[in-house]
Amino acid sequence: IRGLRASVVLPEHTRARIEAAWHELHQDVRLGGTWHGELAVNWAERILLLGSQASDDRGGGPLDERVQRALEIIAREPAAPHSVARLARTVGLSPSRFAHLFRAQTGLPVLETVIRTRMREAEQLLARTTEPVSAIGYRLGFATPQHFAGQFRRWYGISP
């Protein structure tokens, strides 16, 4: 769905399973037909169950509202110059308390989450637009095309 961003950080193995199920759902929808629609519904249910299971594994409860707010800020503005101190100030915590709470709730450090969000956005932009790589890098807050390309290569193993 265009413009939709997830605000929950899932373990990598769960995310991979959800992405695979999402791919299967899309294939069944594209193929059409009565049974393909039923199969797509089954894939959608699988995706929801995998997400629910990940939530239970994380402790079952919702994210702390301050962590949720920080995730929403990062997702809404991936190119902004996010820092632990700035995000902590925004949500009303000290930097050390915020960094500890964020990692405990999401399983990831704050700045890794920022980079991960930028890389996922870059992946989408590269796949769905004809924008030059350098423009996408600048758009996502990277100071130089080289820095963007290096980060992309680190995450995906290939150049953008």
Is pTM, for the whole model, over 0.85? no
pLDDT of residue 28: 72
Rounded to whole angstroms, the Cα distance separating 4 from 28 reads 22
pLDDT of residue 107: 87
Residue 74 in tokens: 């990062």
Q: Do residues 18 and 25 make contact, with C-beta atoms less than 8 angstroms apart? A: no
Tens-digit pLDDT string for the chain (160 aa): 344 444 455 666 677 777 877 777 777 777 777 776 677 777 777 778 777 666 555 555 678 999 999 999 999 999 999 999 999 999 999 999 999 999 998 889 999 999 999 999 999 899 899 999 999 999 999 999 999 999 999 988 999 9
CB atoms within 10 A of CB 73: 18
